[in-house]
Structures are given as structure tokens and as C-alpha cells.
Amino acid sequence: MAKLRRARITPGWHERAACKGADHWIFCNDEAALRNGEPRPPYDEEKAKSYCSGCPVRTVCLEEALRMRDLFMVRGGLNADELRAEYLTRQRRAAS
Ligand code: SF4
């Protein structure tokens, strides 16, 4: 697998996250709950991205999401589709 750009991910960065204490589900467009017959989690991309827009650790969050392949929710200001596109772009760039 192609190497992704390394980011400095320092321990404890989550403590400075703008979304700390926010409802996790607004970030997560997870269909698992629906499959289990539960109500749709309150995914709210616009609200989630509003947290990200002013987040002091946005870059670190994005780099960690890409590195860990955590591409299933809003991270670093990108939704799941945008994260996957960014991941693939970087992979192609690294392979060329
Ligand atoms: S960039 Fe967004 S998802 Fe990541 S820590 Fe900040 S507010 Fe949370």
C-alpha cells in the first residue's frame, strides 16, 4: 500500500477538539442502527462541519482519519465521501 503523508499526531489532541462533548451521532452517518430496527441516528452534516470549521485540531483530525482509514463519518471537515476521495487521491499521488 502506498504511504500516506505523515502528520504529527500528538497525544491528547482530542482534548482540544471543538466537538468535545458534542453529540457523536451528528457526525456519523451510520446505517447500523437502522439495520437493528432502531431510529436513525441524528446525522447532521451541516452541524458537524460547523464544529470542524472552527476546530483548532482540524488538520490533525483529518490526517488521523486518513491514516487510520476512519472514513465513515465527518472528520476534519470532510464527510465520508469526501474523506474517501481524499484518501484515494493521496494514494494515487503517492503511487505515481
Ligand atoms: S475536525 Fe471536526 S471531527 Fe475533527 S476534532 Fe475537530 S470538530 Fe471534531
Give pLDDT tens digits for 34-88: 667 776 668 899 999 999 999 999 999 999 999 999 998 999 999 999 999 999 9
- Assigned domain for 6 exists: no
What are the cell numbers at 81? 465521501
Answer yes or no: is pLDDT of 94 > 70. yes
Overall average pLDDT of the 25-31 stretch: 80
Does a structural domain hold residue 17?
no
Is 14 inside any structural domain? no
- Beta-bridge partner residues of 73: 28
The residue contributing the CA closest to ligand 1 atom 7 is: 52
Task: Give domain status of residue 49, yes or no.
Answer: yes
Domain membership of residue 13 (yes or no) is: no
- Output the CA–CA distances (angstroms, integers) from residue 38 to 10, 23, 41, 69, in the order listed: 36, 17, 8, 26
- What per-residue confidence (pLDDT) applies to 45? 93
Look at residue 9 and tell me if it is in a domain: no
**pLDDT over threshold 60, residue 2:** no
Which has more confidence, 51 or 10?
Answer: 51
Q: Which atom of ligand 1 lies nearest, measured to the CA of 14? A: 5
- The domain tally of the chain equals 1
Residue 19: the pLDDT is: 95
Domain that holds residue 58: 23-95
Distance 63 CA to ligand 1 centre (A): 11
- Other Cβ atoms less than 10 A from the Cβ of 51: the count is 18
For the CA of 73, the nearest atom of ligand 1: 3
What count of other Cβ atoms lies within 10 Å of the Cβ of residue 38?
A: 9
The verdict on residue 61 lying in a domain is yes
In a domain, 5, yes or no: no
Query: Nearest 5°: phi and psi at 39?
Result: -65, 150
Q: Is the CB of 28 under 6 A from ligand 1?
A: no
